Amino acid sequence: MLSRIWKTEAHQDRVLKLLMPQRHARSIQTSIQCVLNVYLYFQYLLALFFIYSFFSLLF
């Protein structure tokens, strides 16, 4: 699943580099996307942790 997402993102990067030669704007967009990905990943970990602690409290 994750590898498929990475492959499609790499493909999007290639297409966008062909469409937009401006590298500076692309790097800004990439860094924003990276920050968003990390934020979503940490949210996912937090949700897993809370679910785990909730069930450990129940049982």
Q: Tell me the pTM.
A: 0.44
Residues in the chain: 59
Amino acid identity of residue 34, one-letter, is C
User: Residue 52: pLDDT band by 50, 70, 90 thresholds?
Assistant: very high
**Which has the closest alpha carbon to 33: 9, 59, 2, 56?**
9
Mean local confidence (pLDDT), 32-52 = 91
Domain ranges of the chain: 2-58
Asked whether 24 and 14 are in contact (CB, 8 A), the reply is no
Q: Quick: pLDDT tens for 4-27.
A: 655 666 666 776 666 665 665 667
Which pLDDT does position 2 carry in this prediction?
Answer: 57
**Which has the closest alpha carbon to 16: 2, 28, 4?**
28
